[in-house]
């Protein structure tokens, strides 16, 4: 049995919604990438994080089908849970700060996986979208109020791994913020909220609220220690 913390990341102002994230604090229990991938596939969350060093903040991130050097909502969730001031990912060191109940990370846009940012004419158009067929990772967005910097967004990973729509996607929000070059308040999915903005040195900050759903346990598909 492998224990993990279940979090909701980028919750709305009332603490609702958010994207589920599994965090395995004792990453040493599953040192092999194949076992980590098996657990991430079994849990079925959009991402699962394995903590390799809780003091330095070293983490390892997986979707149900692949390993990611960097991803936004896993970093925000892990930073909140571990209480560290930085994280170490395969892509690089991620800065962390906390303010007003929000956990924020700083990262470079080039670390984010490739996304198609597709703008629509209105929030209503984004709301009306159907899930597209697999094959392309699409971040659909529209201005709610351009002057105020508020955005409506939905995310369709297109990987064919059972995650048809991502409730809240930090990496895509990071890329959109880099493109627009301004602070944004993004409402994504059913009601999640992401707050973003450019920072010095070409960094982009992405933050939001995190809520714990408690500790869970799972048998690892394929067994611990498999090749």
Domains with residue ranges and CATH for the chain: 2-91+210-218 (3.10.310.10), 111-209 (3.10.310.10)
- Cα angle: 177, vertex 106, 3; to 5 degrees: 115
pLDDT in tens, 8-57: 999 999 999 999 999 999 999 999 999 999 999 999 999 999 999 999 99
Backbone CA torsion sign across 174, 60, 226, 26: negative
Residue entry with tokens 């930073």: 79
The answer to whether residue 223 scores a pLDDT higher than 60 is no
The answer to whether residue 79 scores a pLDDT higher than 50 is yes
Percent of the chain with pLDDT over 90: 90
Are 81 and 75 spatial neighbours (Cβ–Cβ below 8 Å)? no
Give the span between the Cα atoms of 170 and 91, in whole angstroms. Answer: 15
By C-alpha distance, which of 171, 37, 177, 38 is closest to 114?
171
């Amino acid at each position: 049995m492998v224990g993990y913390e279940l979090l909701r990341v980028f919750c709305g102002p009332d603490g609702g919604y958010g994207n589920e994230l599994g965090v395995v604090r004792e990453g040493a229990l599953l040192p092999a990438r194949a076992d980590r991938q098996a657990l991430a596939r079994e849990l079925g969350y959009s991402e699962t994080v394995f903590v390799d060093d809780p003091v330095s903040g070293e983490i390892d991130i997986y979707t149900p089908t692949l390993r990611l050097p960097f991803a936004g909502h896993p970093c925000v969730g892990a930073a909140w849970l571990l209480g560290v001031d930085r994280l170490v990912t395969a892509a690089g060191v991620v800065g962390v700060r906390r303010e007003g109940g929000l956990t924020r990370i700083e990262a470079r846009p080039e670390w984010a996986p490739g996304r198609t940012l597709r703008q629509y004419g209105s929030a209503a158009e984004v709301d009306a979208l159907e899930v597209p067929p697999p094959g392309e990772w699409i971040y659909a967005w529209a201005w709610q109020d351009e002057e105020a910097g508020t955005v409506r967004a939905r995310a369709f990973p297109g990987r064919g791994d059972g995650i048809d729509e991502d409730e809240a996607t930090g990496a895509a929000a990071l890329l959109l913020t880099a493109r627009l070059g301004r602070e944004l308040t993004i409402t994504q999915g059913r009601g999640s909220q992401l707050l973003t903005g450019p920072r010095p040195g070409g960094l982009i900050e992405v933050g939001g609220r995190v809520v714990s759903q408690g500790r869970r346990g799972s048998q690892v598909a394929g067994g611990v220690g498999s090749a």
